[in-house]
Structures are given as C-alpha cells and as structure tokens.
Structure 1
Amino acid sequence: MSLADTISRFTLSLFKAPFNWLVKAHHVPADPKQEFSLDADDHIVYVLRTKSISTIKILKQKTKDLKLPAAHYNDQQSPESGACLFINNRPKWFSYKRKLTEHKAYIANLLDQQKQNPNKNYKLVPVSIYWGRNPGKEKSFLRYFISNMEETGRLGKLLIILFLGRQCFIQYGKPIRLNSKAVNLTQDTSKTSHKISRILRVYFNRHWVASMGPRSENRRGLVAGIVASNDVQNVIIEEASRTNKSIAKVKTDAEKYVKEIAASYSPRMIRFLSSALSRLWDKIYTGIEVNNIKNIRELAQEHELIYVPCHRSHTDYLLLSYQLYREGLAPPHIAAGVNLNFWPIGSILRKGGAFFLRRSFKGNKLYSTVFNEYLYRLLNKGIPVEYFQEGGRSRTGRLLSPKTGMLGMTVQGMLRGIRKPIVFVPVYIGYEKMFEGKSYVGELRGQEKKQESFGQLLGVRKALKRFYGKVYLNFGEPLKLNDYLDQNVNDWREYLNSDKKADWVNSQMLHLGDEINRRINAAVSVNSVCLVSMALLGTPRQAMDKAELIAQLNALLALLTAAPYSSYTNLASESAEELVSTAIKLGMAYETNDPAGNVISIEGDERILSTYYSNNILHLFAIPSLIASLFQRHNHISKEKIISYVEAFYPFLQKELYIHWHKNELAERVELLLETMLDQGLLNMGAKNYCVPHADTPQWTRLILLSEAIQPALQRYAITLTILESFADKTTLRRVQLEQESQKLAQRISALYGINAPEFSDKNLFKNQVKVLKEEGYIIHQEGMGIKATDKSHQLHQKLMEILSIPVQQGLQLAARSLKHASPEAVSED
C-alpha cells in the first residue's frame, strides 16, 4: 500500500463516526443481483471511474448487504473477487500525474485468468457513485465542481460529503462477462483489454448524462437563443409587417412567450420534491410497484427519451418523475397545461421541470414558432421529455383518442436534426383507488369541471387523509421513431436536415398515436379493484356471493395466465381472497353478513366509479367476452363461425379499446382462447362444435358473467346500425346527424335500462364507430353528401342481432322508432 493510500485510510478512520452519520446511500437497481444475474460464486471485479477510499467504503457496505463479494481496495496486479478497479487513478498526494493506463494491465490479467479457467465466470461490474443530482450549468464551473465527486479534489470531496452525503446513490451497470462471445479471448490480450477500457469509458460518460441529465442552460441565454433562432426571427419580421408593429415590440412579445413556456429546472427543487413526495406517498399509498424499467435504463444512455404516459390523475406526472429520479434516471421536462400555472403551484412545477403550453396555438403563429423552437432545443440537448398525448385526464378509465400536436412537433424536430435518435416510452399508470374519484363522479353527472386554483388545492387536505392502496408504473414496449418511419414512410429520410416540409406528418401522427396507445394498454396492471369491479358489474344488482366472486376472479386470472395478453402486462400476485379483501378495505366494495354466505356488493357512487376501474382492463377481456357473448343465444357454434364473428366486430373493438392484435393474428388468438376456455370448463367440445356447459353448473354462470363485460360496447354498435337500418329507405343521413342520433338513442336506452357506464353515450365513441364503418366499407360517405348504408352493413346488423338478448333488441327497436317519428332536422356537414 502506498503512503498516499495510508494517509487516506488514516484520515477516513478519524472521521469514521461522522462519515457514517453524514452519508446515506441507496442503490439502483433495487436488486442488481437478480437483474444482472450476479452470483456470489462469480469472480466479480467492481469498476469505478475514479479512485476514492470513501466511495470504496460505501460500496463495501452495500455489496455486503446484497450478499455479493464485498468491495475492497486491492493494489495487486491480479484483483481478487470483490476488488475495485479504477479507470482514472487520482494523482498521489505530492504528484500531479494521473495514471490512465494502469487498469488495462489488471484487465489483461483477468483475461488471462479467464482463459485458464473457462468454466468460471469473470465479470466486470461498472459502478457509478453519485453525490447529489446536479448536472451543473453550462457556464458555471463552481456548481459542477461541488456536485461531482469524481472530478473534484479532496477539499471539494469533503464539502460534498458535508452537504450532499445523504443524497448519495450507487448505480450498478450491466456486467461485462469475459467469457461471453462479445469478448474475443483468442485475440491479443493487450488489444482486448484496450477495447474493454474504451467501452467502460464510453459507458461512464453516457451513464452520467442519463442519470444527471445535460447541464442546464442559463435562463437569460435560453430566452435570447430562442428569439435569435432563424425560424423565430423570420416570424418576427412577418408579424411586424402584418400587424404594423415595430420589430422590437414583436421581439418583446416573443421573449414573453419564452418566459411563459420555459421550465426553470432546479436540482434543489427536485431534491425537495423527492423528499416531500416520499413522505406523501408513504402516507396515502401502500407502495409504488415499478415494472419493465430495466430496458429504459439501457435506452437512456444512447437515445432521446420521450415518455408518453396515460393520463388518469394530476399525480401522474409527479409519480413518474419521482420514480424515475429514484431509479437513477434524469427526471424529464414535462409539458403541462397552462391551467396549472397558478400561484404557488406554477412556480414549483416550473422548477421541477414543467414547461407550459396553451390549449390551442390556432391563430398565433409567433407563439407556435416559439414553442416549436423551445421543444426542439430540449430534444437536441438530450433532455428527456414527457407529455400526455391524450391531452386531458380520462374520466372513463379508457384511453382517450390521441391529440397529435406534440407528436407532430416532436417528429418535425427530429427531421431538423438532433444528436440522439428518439424513442417513445409508453407508460401505464394505474391506481387501486383514484385520488380524484369523487370529483370525476360529479363531472360524469353533469357538474362543470372545477378550474385549478389555490383554493382547490387547499381542499386536497381532506383527500390526503384517505387510503388509496397501491400505484403501478409499468413501462411498455419502447417505440423507436426511426424504425416506425422506416416501416410506414418510404421517403422520410429525404426530409432530414432539409427545408422541405414533410406533408405526411399530420396523417402519420394519427397512426403513431394509436400505436403508442396500444403499447400503453399492453403494459396494463391488473389489480384488485379492477377485477372485482368487472366481476360485480356483470351481475344485475352489482352484488354477488363472496365464494362465487372469488371463483369468478380465479377464472379471470386463469384466463389471463393461460392466454397472456402481452409480456408487458402485469398480473396481480395476490390470491383472489386477498383481492376481495383489498377492494373492501379501499371502500370500493362492501361485505354484508348473511347466514347463507356473505355477499359482496358495490353501492352508491362506487357503482359509477366501478365502471371506470373495469374499463382499465376491459381490453384484456374484450375478445374472450365477445366469444362468451356468442353463447348467450347459441348452444352450439363451430370454430369457423366464432372466428368470423370476432373478425367482424374486431375493428370496432380495436379502435375503441386500442387492442394490439393485428387482424391477421385474430384466428390464432381465438383458437388459443377457445382451448383455454375448454381447459377451464367454460366451454365444452361436441362432435364438431363448441357448446356451453350445463345451465346448472358454476362454469355456465362464469361464462355468462364473462360475456357481460363487452355487452355495452355491442349495444352501442347496435344503436348506430339500427339507426342506419331505420332510415335506410326514407331519409338521407349526414355523418354528424348519425353521430348525434346515436348519442340520443344511447342516452334514452341508458335511462330506460339503468346503464351506469358513463361512456355509454360518449359522442367521441360514436364518432369513432362511424369512422370504422366507413373504413371497413359498411357505409359510403362523400363530403357534401349523406351516408348510404351498404349490404355489408345490413349483414353486420343481422350478426349483431343474433347475439344480443331479446329484451335489448326490443328496446332498440322501440327507441329507434320513437326517434324516427321525431323526423330529425338535417344537420350540415362539419
């Protein structure tokens, strides 16, 4: 051991007690041993960027806790398992020379050992230790100096331990296995060690940016840079000419727009929010479950990440940014509605990375250009971005149709040329109980949405006293923008770094948004309240014997297990009994004691909210429920007929629920589901056809309950098709008129039959239905002319009538006749 190391160790021993008190570290991922398949029998060498006795001490304790070889300092040429290897050796106490090549000899020795012991696993595990999460400003040496332990001197290190010791975290990287195919052991050892050294240096550089984020730009410089950009300058000149204002006045307006929009990211605020939110989440939630984040950590090193979560609650963006920060990733800049920019929340959110946008850019070219330039600078700088493509929060539990504005601006920014390729990261955020549940019930009953304000914020205190169960953050399958465009736009590369305006952007964004929604839905979490709600909603009075409910939940879970929807889908790990208990504890279901067996029911406002939670997972059961619906009026059906029915109704279900199966995959999917339903006894096999179980068996009851999940959707399709049939010969319907009459009929049926589903008469769903009718050739529609139903539409209507119950059919016919006699006025095409 050198004299310098002896001095360092002696100094550290003097400060051992205060060091242990000052330093508190957590590691990412939570279980690196499992995530990277590390074994205590492996020969593990920890690779750090810079030598530091204090970091070795921290790492030693954490590796012991993980039951891995304990990290220790080894100055020998052949590091033993648990030894620490340093890419940059810091200068000795009385020297100014860094040793930048010493580690290569260590790696060469390890390679030789691997050759001699081919059956042993030698692994180099990169370890990054960060003190605080401040990337520093571009033109602030001091802030960078005191936030980076690896680059600062010994005095700076002491300051960091004093002020940021409790903000320390350790991040483990993907190991380099020396016996893997990627490492050429037949090559000269010195060349291989040099290659591994280069890989490690690149890794540490990229990992630092992925965890810290790029250095932030001075706000004054940001404003000046955006206003001085070519696009903004051109619009300033154009606006000055059009409005007869001076260029200086228009320039001032542009500067105001930048200040209105731009985030004012503050690492200090992020640390404060992380601490405050930790206490809040611990108080109101039983835990935050995160799934599929491993791939995101790897993508963050080489890609520009665009997080695209579903939007259910105001807590969505807080939860996502908080968890990304805890997982060692740089928190994203978040596109927030300008309605949230009120005192004091606006300032806090802005410092937390929020940038604000108006609901509409229409008629304000200067604002639109400034916003586009700001977004482009974020993307080009490598700052992760988050936005909700649905626009607003879903009040029905379903994904809303994508608003394509932000997607279009992202693609246009990419075409201008940015440093990293863009990857969209779909994120499903699920709640066992909604924070805004009560307010949603009021809005669905017709109350106006309350404007966000400080007064409304004060009212949240009562809600914070309640219990909301568990939260799920599931990262879906990433979508690489370049790959998507390669598959869908042949000539898109011709528009890279050119002045040509891409005319295909608007049309492609609709498809891109739908694909992102499908990937969000594929990452859904199936929790207690969702399953209990779906099961109870299938009963006439939303009540069920507890034993039967447990059996129904087991059947639903078994269906998802045997025929998985997606590898990204997260199923509940609890038993059916535990799921029911959780729903009762959350106040979403009630248990009534009865001598013949306890009854579980949904009461009051929870009846409306239960449709919200059921809609979270409806897409998982849509096809099984449709298959079950076919047997409500048929005892025997052939496989070919089942597939034909599913193929007929699937385009409507796919558009409405963002189901990810391609139409060509349906036959195979239906066959798998039929086999699964046979195994569970939900269906039986006759000589040639599938048939229902005997009506006295529990399996028959479960089949009928399963069929109820999709009934509201089928009834909605029947409404529109029935109107087309009713007016086929006498009246020419226009598109808007068909949508409006469908909505009116749905409202009437909902009132007559007590349908609690708030989305049953949603005008947007009918708008999408009419769109599918046109795309699939069921209607002929030309601009300026009415809608004409085709023979194919009549056949679809007949198929639908064959599977709907007789009372539902009669109700549809009566309600349709009443609308027909009302002789609706023609509505002009919009």
Structure 2
Amino acid sequence: MEATDSSPRAEAARPSWRLRLFGQVLESWVRIKRDPADAASLLIPGVPVCYVIERYGLSDALILEQACREAGLPSALVPLRGVSGKRRRTSYFATSLRNSLFWNPARRRAPTEPLAQIVDALELAPDQDVQLVPVSIFVGRAPNRESGWFSVLFSENWVVVGRFRRLLALMLNGRDTHVQFSKPVSLRSVLVEEQAQPRDRTVRKIARVLRAHFRRIRSAVIGPDLSHRRTVVDAVVNAEPVREATAATAVKEALTRTQAHKRAHDYAMEIAADYSHPVVRSLSFLLSSFWNKIYGGVRMNHFDRLRAVAPGHEVIYVPCHRSHIDYLLLSWLLYNNGIVPPHIAAGVNLNLPILGPILRRGGAFFLRRSFKSNALYSAVFSEYVSQLFARGVSLEYFVEGGRSRTGRLLQPKAGMLAMTIRAFLRESRRPVVFQPVYIGYEKLMEGKSYIGELSGQPKEKESLFGLLRSVKVLRQHYGRVAVNFGEPVFLTELLDREAPTWRETGAEEKPEWFARTVDSLAERIQVNVNRAADVNPINLIAVALLATPKHSMAESDLLTQLDLYRSLLTELPYGERVTITDQTPAQIIAYAEQMQWTRRVRHPLGDVLCSDGKQGVLLSYFRNNVLHLFAAGAWIACCFINNRRMARASVVRLSRLVYPFLQAELFLPWNEDGFVERIQATIDFFVRRGIFTLDAEGRVLNRGAGQGDAAFQLRTLAHSLLQAFERYYIAIAVLVKHGPHTISAAELENLCTLTAQRLSLLHELNAPEFFDKALFKGFIQQLRERRVVWTDDAGKLDFDTALNEVAKDAKVILSREIRHGILKLAPEPKPAAAPPAPPAPPAQDEAA
C-alpha cells in the first residue's frame, strides 16, 4: 500500500538521528498493544497519511512511530509529502497546545494551525488528498501480576501531566502501553462537504470533531472525566427537583431551609461515589491475584460485540445477581479489556467501615432498600442518577434487586430502570444501550447461607466482623466462571416500538405508556440474560442427579442422560449466545468428582454416582441456572409420566395452556406460537433419538414401557419441571378448597407456602425453592392477569368454572398419589364466625 510520495527523495526521508536514538532507547522498554492488530488494513490506498494524536510530547511521538513501524504503517516522523504547498517536518500533529520547556512564543501556536496548513495545501491542489488517522495513546492501561504496586499511581488519566510524571509513567507502566488506531478520514471529502463554508470555520469544525473523538475514546477506555465528588454533590443539591423537594420537606417537617438543605446534602454524600482511577487500578491489581487463587479460570464470551457497541453509547450493565462477586468480577473484566468500569448501584448494607470507602472509590454508589416514604431522599437519588447520566458515566445495577437464593432469575424491580428512562428523556445526549450479562459459577461462596435463608433462617446482616470471618474462602477452590454478554437492548428502539410519540413527551410528565415500557424493558433484559446462559458441567450433573429420589444414578445411566442433554442443547439451540461445555459425558462426571459435588460408590454391577446431604441441596441452585434451557423438553416429558400414548395435538393444546405460566417464571423468549414450534421441533428430536415412536399417520406419540431406557430418560428430564406443576396445583387446590370470595392474594400466597413446606417435610423434597413464596406470588399474578381469578370489591379472590378446567388438566401431568396428597395437605378453610345471637326481648310485666 503506497501512502507517501514515491520519489527517491521521499524514500530516503528518515527521522533525525536524535529521534532515532531516543526511539531505540524507548523501544527497549516500551511494549505496545495495538488495537486493531492489523491497523494497516484501515488505510485508504494511495493517499498520504497524517496522524493525529491527542497531546504533544516526545514520548507520544516516539510511541506513535514505534506503533507505526510494528504495524507496517508509514512513518510519523518524516515530512508529510504528496501534497503541494508548505511542507510539514512531520506527518503528525496534536489537537492540543504544544508545551515548551522554556517559554517560546514562536512555538505556542494555535492547535488548529497544523490542520490549517494542510487544508491550505489541499485548496491549492484540488486533485490531491490527505487521510487523517486519529491515534489514541494510553500508558499504563492494564496491570498484570508482574506489575509493581507503585505503578498503579501513575496510570493513564484525564490530567495533563508534566514531563517528570510522564517519565515515571513510562518507567513503571511502559510495558502496558495501549495504542488505538481509528478509521481514517479523507480530508478532501470533508472539504467537499463543507465547500460552502468559510475556510476558518471548516478548520475549527474538523478540530472540534477530532477532540470529541479523542474524548469519546478516552472515556470508553479509562472512564469519563468526573469532577470531584463534592462538585457532583453540589450539582445534585442545587438541581431544581431537589430544591423543590427540600422546600416541601422543610414545610412538612417544620424545618428551616438550612436544616432541610443540610439533610439533602447529607443524603447526597451518603449516596455518591468517589471514583478514583488509582484505586480502580489498585483493585484490579489485587483482584487478579484473588481470582487466580480461588478460581480455575474466568472465561468471557461475546465481549467483541460489546466493544463494538460501547463507544458513542451510554452503556447500562444489567447482569444477573448470583453472588457478591458479580460486580467485582464484571468491573475487573471490563477494565482489563480496555473498557472503563461502570458506576455500580450497591445496597447501603455494604457501606461498611473500610470496605465502604474502598467500594465508593471503585465506583460504587449506595442506595437504601426502600425510600418510597422519603420524598427528599428519592429526589436526591434520582437527581444523582441523572447527573451521572448527563456526564456520560456508564452504570451497572441489578434489576432483580438482590441476589437470587434459588438460582433462578428473580422478578425484576423496575425502580432503577424507570430512573434511567427518565434521565434519558431529560438528558438524551447519547443513545442508551442496556447490556444484559449472564454470570455462571460452578460453586458459590454464599451457597450454605442461601440454603439456610430459604429454609426459614433470618438473613445474616453484613458486618465488618463477618467480612473478616469470610477470609477463609481463600482456602477453597470454586471452579471456573463464565461471563456471557447477552444481546443488548437499545432504548430508542424499545421506545419507538412501545411509545412512538415518546419524543413529544416532556421529561417531567408521567405519560400513560411509561409503566408499560418499563415493564417491557425489564422483561426483555431478563429474557436476554437467559438467552446468554453458560451450561457448565455442574449444571448438567445437577439436572440429571437431582431427578432421582436419593440423588444417585448408575454411571451408565448418567452417561446416557448427559449425552441426551448435550445433544438436545446442541441440535436445538436456545439462543446464539448460549455456550455449552465441550467436555464429554465421561469428562463431566470426572470433573464433578474433582469438584467434590459427587461421590463414587464402587459396585460389582457398575459404579454409582451420588450427591449426599447438603451437596444435593446446593446442586439445585445450579440446576435452576439452566432450567429454562430444558423447559420445552421437560414439559413434553411431563406429559408422558402417566401416559404411554398421547396425541401430538393434545401435547400442543396443553402447551398453549401452560406456556404463559412457564414463560413468566422462567423468562422464556418465545410467544405462544413460537413455543409451539419449539415443542414440535423437540418432539421430532425425541423421535430421532428413539425415545418416541409414531403411529402410521404420525399423529400419536408412543413411549416405551416404564422399565425401559427411553421411559427412564423421559422421567429424569421431566423431574426438573415437575415441581413447578406441583406448586401450580397447590395454589389451585388451596383456592378451590376455600372457595370464591374467602381469601385475598396475600393470604393465598402464605397458605401455599405453608402447604409446600409441609409437603416438602413429609416427602423429603430437597429443593428449598419448592416453597419459595416469590414463585407462588408470580403464579397467582399470572392467574389474575389471564382473568382465571380476579379480585372482588372486598379484596378477595373470585373465580369461575375455568379454574376447575385447569385443575382437570393437571391429571395429565400429576399422578393420582401426588394430587391426593396435595389435596389432603391443603389447609381447611376457617369456619365462618357465627353471627351474634339477637338480644333477648325485654321481660314483660305480668300485670301488663
């Protein structure tokens, strides 16, 4: 590719001997990571190249020259040739002022002067062109295990540093230098577009666009240029919504304006992060050692798609919430891969001594669990989110509101989503993208505490003592971790679909479409998290072993079952971003033994794999992580637990009936017709595997005898979903037993939870999520939304014969023994209080 003049004089042009000497010294120490690696492919063939960097400085010029040489690009330190007019001594310029060691008015030229010279030359030669290549240079981006602790203090930031500090940064962090080449811009094309404008205005516009480009790249790599925390707090307190809330609070609580203002200021200080680049770099250095100690590897998938979206967008990270490790892990991964860590919404319970200030400087801002009754706190918090939004700060929060104790995605709490949409309507400077993230573990630090909480034990409050006590986790090994970036949700596209008139809506109004749009966004985020699931060996072991009463299975059967699951997920992909372990069934079993999830019992007729005691209970968490991937297959299997033959049309009819409840519980991605198509494809898969046979007309499905391998595989697969239908039947049975107009939705939830707990005790169901109150609440809500039940004027639940039809369909799935057991355990309705006896008539005088 020819990018400079091909004359002999041009070929002989070389940098001065002084620059070559300094460059050799610097090259012996500096190690450059280029992005993209094949930067030469970006250039326009045959057009002279002029590089544009952000700041002048000898080190930046030499780093640019080294990067160009390593990438096979034209030199930046030779005169720019190929254009007529005044010849420049170098083929680069910066968008900032040149700082001279000694004050020299001749060298303090306007930043636009080099650009103006090139524009003048092109105006004199209409047939010539120059391509401008913006190049961003960062010294000290990513720490590694060999990095010195002191080097974190001299990492790249927004401050323009002096020569001595730059020299220290090169000495300490020169081996972690990042050079990013951007797509070139044809200067001739710009001049043609702006030919009607004055020359000075065109030059200023090009310079402004270049400066904005460098700010955008720097913001994506090291984070936005945040002012001091006190400045952000002052902006929050002085904002109009907060001042109005402050005045209202002063009147309501009989406070002076000064007292109310101080309370608002204290709230803002309690909330606000105190982001520090050196602290973030220090934490990254520490966490690198921490992950290597407790994990066998951290795998990240689909990150390249995020990297392509992040520049120019306001990115809101919305991961699933499984562990306290989630936000540390995600921030560390982003930082080490060249994207600034987000500001993270953390519960105020984590604002502990020592830990709180560290998290705050790492980008955490704290919020109370509930602040609906505190109008001033709500106004301050909303304004703080808006201020971050206006400053271009990426955010991270968990739409579930808290950590999942069951391994399933929780029903979303939409408060932060609503604040984000309002901030966008108020400050829509950049497009917003929500980035769902799935985080999959093979062992959880909090596993035992989750089991205790689901069993009724109170949640242990976070404390400094508890934090110190948890240091013992460093002695354990937690397997591998997968972080999958799901399909992003673009806010503008969602608004255009849900509310086409949103652009005409004022930021402070409450339009009728707002609540619907927030709910739709929350559901889409959860669906996309599930569509980016990672299926690890422990997930597959859990789905298989927990289907047996004693959590045990013969090795030969377990191998067959694992092969069935892997084939089902591979042949019928749930989503393009789902990742599946590449281990064979035999390797999966060996790995589960290594991780101490299973125990092998030797036997002459064949070894047995089992998971004992609490290990089996803990495995239910990892089964629930991927339960949605098996929903269609498990539902079909449930239909054949008590039936050997069933019409294909009957399976489809029941699928349409049950799908809304499964979709709400598992955040499945299909509409009703899409689920039917999935059911049909899964049936065909089972036929190919020999699990089903078809009659001559292909209308009736037949499974093998109950003692056969095919029936065993179906029963094992069905078990993962069977408990959901048992919960559904509990709710229906309790409601029918009490009758209409007798209990409220909240009372039904409590009665269902108690019934499930008792059933679990009597039948030794080692699945704490079986009596999770939130799951019953979601099912009852779906019954209400589909008008199967409704609330009367007194707040009690009413229903008609449609509920009895639903109960009849349960016979297809649940055995008579299970149904009768649930009906027996369902609590009897309390007898209605007898009406008070009428008062006795007054005694009459006999004389009367």
TM-score (norm 2): 0.83
Match of 2:139 among 131, 149, 159: 131
SS of 2:379's partner is: helix
Task: Look up the match of 1:405.
Answer: 415
**Deviation string, structure 1 residues 666-703 (Cα, Å, up to 9, x no partner):** 22222222222222223222223222145565333222
Q: Per the alignment, do residues 313 and 148 of structure 1 end up closer, same or farther by CA in structure 2, a change over 3 Å counting?
A: closer
C-alpha change, 1:216 and 1:356, in structure 2 (3 Å) is same
CA distance 1:172–1:564, change in 2 (3 Å): farther
Give the equivalent residue in structure 2 for 1:323.
333
1:322-342 per-residue CA deviation (whole Å, 9 max, x = no partner) reads 111111111111111111111
For residue 289 of structure 1, report the CA deviation from its aligned partner.
Answer: 1.1
Deviation at 1:505, TM superposition (A): 3.2
Deviations 1:371-420 (A, max 9, x none): 11111000011000111111111111011111121112112222222321
User: Who is 2:53 aligned against?
Assistant: 49
Change (3 A) 1:520 1:107: farther
Bigger Cα Rg: 2
1:607 aligns with 2:616: yes
CA apart distance, 1:167 = 4.7
Structure 1: how far apart are the matches of 2:330 and 2:558? 34
Change (3 A) 1:125 1:397: farther
Change (3 A) 1:821 1:419: closer
AA aligned opposite 1:6: W
Partner-residue secondary structure (3-state), 1:324 = helix
CA displacement, residues 640-665 of structure 1 (integer Å, 9 cap, x when unaligned): 21111111111111111111111231
Match of 1:668 in 2: 677
Q: Report the equivalent of 2:723.
A: 712
- Match for residue 839 of structure 2? none
1:544 is aligned to 2:556? no
Q: Which amino acid aligns with 1:820?
A: E
Structure 1 match to 2:626 = 617
The answer to whether the Cα contact below 8 Å between 1:28 and 1:328 also exists between their aligned partners in 2 is no
Task: Encode CA deviations 1:470-513: one digit per residue, 9 max, x unaligned.
Answer: 1111111111222212222243323234x433354345433322
Structure 1 window deviating more from structure 2 (769-778 vs 266-275): it is 769-778
Query: Are 1:299 and 2:309 an aligned pair?
Result: yes
Map 1:558-637 onto structure 2 (within 5 A). Answer: 558-637=567-646
1:118-267 equivalences in 2 (<5 Å)? 128-132=136-140, 147=156, 157-171=166-180, 203-267=213-277
1:734–1:148 CA distance, 2 compared to 1 (3 A): closer
- 8 Å Cα contact 1:633/1:803 also seen in 2: yes
For 2:448 and 2:261, how far apart are their aligned partners in 1? 46
TM-score, length of structure 1 as denominator length = 0.85
Distance 1:107 1:805 in 2: 85
Contact 2:451-2:768 within 8 A present in 1 as well: no
Q: Distance in 1 between matches of 2:680 and 2:81?
A: 59
Instruction: Give the Cα separation in 2 of the matches to 1:742 and 1:713.
Output: 13
Equivalents in 2 of 1:557, 1:566: separation in Å? 14
Q: Distance in 1 between matches of 2:488 and 2:32?
A: 30
- 2:754 pairs, out of 744, 755, 762, with 744
- 1:350 paired with 2:354, answer no
Counterpart contact for 1:77–1:105, Cα < 8 Å: no
Q: Secondary structure at the match of 1:501?
A: coil
SS in 1 for 2:403: coil
Contact 1:527 1:572 in 2 (8 A): yes
Distance 1:153 1:338, change over 3 A: closer
SS at match of 1:130: strand
Q: Matches of 1:564 and 1:460 in 2, distance apart?
A: 39
The answer as to 2:739 corresponding to 1:735 is no
Contact 1:535–1:705 (CA<8 Å) still a contact in 2?
yes
Q: Deviations over 1:270-319 (max 9, x none)?
A: 01000000000011111111112222223222211111111111111101
The answer for the alignment partner of 1:557 in structure 2 is 566
Residue matched to 1:723: 734
- What is the aligned partner in structure 1 of residue 148 from structure 2? none
Other structure's SS at 1:760 match: helix
1:529 CA displacement: 0.9
Q: Secondary structure of the equivalent of 1:538?
A: coil
Letter in 2 for 1:359: R
Whole-Å separation in 1 of the counterparts to 2:121 and 2:667: 53
- Which deviates more from structure 2 when the two are superposed, residues 202-211 or residues 760-769? 202-211
Secondary structure class of the residue paired with 2:685? helix
Q: Secondary structure at the match of 1:605?
A: helix
Deviation at 1:782, TM superposition (A): 2.8
Q: CA deviation at 1:580?
A: 2.1
| Change in 2 beyond 3 A, CA 1:270/1:635 | same
Cα distance per residue 1:511-570 (max 9 Å; x no partner): 322221111111111111111011101112111122321221121111111111111212
Post-superposition offset of 1:85: 7.8
Match status 1:522 vs 2:531: yes
**CA distance in structure 1 between the aligned counterparts of 2:40 and 2:570, rounded to whole angstroms:** 25
Residues 15 and 802 from structure 1, CA distance in 2 versus in 1: closer, same or farther, beyond 3 angstroms?
closer
State yes or no: 1:468 paired with 2:472: no
* Change over 3 Å in CA distance of 1:658–1:694 after alignment to 2: same
Q: Deviations for 1:95-151, whole angstroms, at most 9, x for unmatched residues?
A: 66664489999999xxx999xxxxxxxx999764312469xxxxxxxx999946997
Contact kept, 8 Å, 2:436 with 2:529, in 1: the verdict is: yes
Partner of 1:678: 687
Moved more, 287-296 or 155-164: 155-164
Change (3 A) 1:678 1:73: farther
Q: Which residue of 2 aligns with 1:449?
A: 459
- What SS class does the counterpart of residue 706 from structure 1 fall into? helix
RMSD between aligned alpha carbons? 4.1
1:413-428 alignment runs, 5 A limit: 413-428=423-438
What pairs up with 1:53-92 in 2 under 5 angstroms?
Answer: 75=78, 86=92, 88=94
More off after superposition, 315-324 vs 691-700: 691-700
Identify the range of structure 1 (91-100 vs 456-465) with the bigger mean alpha-carbon deviation: 91-100
- The residue that corresponds to 2:377 in the other structure is 367
Q: Which moved more, 1:248-257 or 1:150-159?
A: 150-159
* Counterpart selection for 2:522 from 508, 513, 531: 513
* Identical pairs, percent: 35
Q: Distance in 2 between matches of 1:297 and 1:155?
A: 33
What is the SS of the residue equivalent to 2:53? strand
Equivalent pair of 1:46/1:127 in contact (CA under 8 Å)? no
Judged with a 3 Å threshold, the aligned counterparts in structure 2 of structure 1 residues 618 and 63 are, in CA distance, closer, same or farther, namely: farther
Deviation at 1:229, TM superposition (A): 1.4
Q: Does structure 2 conserve the Cα–Cα contact (< 8 Å) formed by 1:432 and 1:469?
A: yes
Query: What do the CA deviations read for 1:240-267 (whole angstroms, capped 9, x no partner)?
Result: 2222221111111111111111100000
Residue 6 of structure 1: CA displacement? Answer: 2.8
| Preserved contact between residue 337 and residue 356 of structure 1 (Cα < 8 Å) | yes
Number of residue-to-residue matches in the alignment: 782
Task: Give the SS at the match of 2:770.
Answer: coil
1:647 pairs with 2:652: no
CA shift, 1:772, in A, is 0.9
Which piece of structure 1 moves more, 396-405 or 288-297? 288-297
Separation (CA, whole Å) in 2 of partners of 1:527 and 1:756:
22
SS in 1 for 2:534: coil
Q: Is the 8 A contact 2:331 2:342 kept in 1?
A: yes
Inter-partner Cα distance in structure 1 for 2:558 and 2:119: 64
Residue 361 of structure 1, CA deviation? 1.0
For residue 55 of structure 1, report the CA deviation from its aligned partner: 6.3
- d(CA) in 1 for partners of 2:68 and 2:15? 25
Counterpart AA for 2:728: Y
